[in-house]
Structures are given as structure tokens and as C-alpha cells.
Amino acid sequence: MNIKKASELLRVSSDTIRYYERIGLIPRIGRTSAGIRDFDEQDLAALEFVRCFRSAGVSVESLIDYIGLCQDGEEAHLEERCAILVAEREKLQKKAEELLSAISRLDGKIAHYESVIVKNISSS
């Protein structure tokens, strides 16, 4: 699959895919004899993994470290890989709590304004 099709399938721009490959966030993509990137299922899975975690706010540096450790095989560096994921999960959990707190405050403000609006309409 070429980069355009991979880009459309995963909703990631071609430029982003090239950037991810250049900085080592995804493994080097195989090429056709004409030099065109040729994505296979494993490449797409790696890209989807990165897309998911980047959209959640996981740092590029952590993902590069994690992907680098994965390159040595499925059973290599398990403790280090797990430690990266645990640290990122803790960061995401904190972010989720902050977002829930902000949503709660917004809900309070919205409820206040809606009650004032209803009160103003009723008194008109």
C-alpha cells in the first residue's frame, strides 16, 4: 500500500507519516523497486499505535524510546517497555482527572447561565 492510501486509511497526513519515519517513531517503511513506500500490515499497525497514543498526548520522546526497545524483538526489554507505558498511563490519568474537573466547572457555569436565561425569559 502506498503512502497516500495509508494516509487516508489511518487519517494521518502523508507529511506526518514521513516525519514519523524520519525521527524513528515508526520503523523504516519498505520500498518498491521504484523507491515508493510500500506499507504492509505491520507498518500500518505501528502507525496506528503511534497515531492513537500521539492523539492522547503521549510524548514523541517516550514513543521513540518505546518503539526503539520493541525493535529488538517481542521478548526484549520487557521491564523497560512496561515502565514507559506505566509512566505514560500515569500522565494520561492525571490529564483525564484535570479534564473531568474542568468539565465539571463548565457544567456548573452552563447550568448557572441556563437558569438565568430561563429566569429572564419567564419574567419577560
Confidence band of 3 (pLDDT split at 50, 70, 90) = very high
Considering the domain delimited by 3-122, tell me its CATH architecture.
Orthogonal Bundle (1.10)
User: Where in the chain are the domains?
Assistant: 3-122
Please state, in angstroms and rounded to a whole number, the distance separating the CA atoms of residues 54 and 52: 6
pTM, two decimals, is 0.76
Q: Per-residue pLDDT tens for 44-84?
A: 999 999 999 999 999 999 999 999 899 888 899 999 999 99
What 3-state class would DSSP assign to 37?
strand
Q: How far apart are the first and last CA of the chain?
A: 64
Q: Per-residue pLDDT tens for 97-117?
A: 999 999 999 999 999 999 999
Please state, in angstroms and rounded to a whole number, the distance separating the CA atoms of residues 71 and 62: 14
Q: Are 56 and 92 in contact (CB under 8 A)?
A: yes
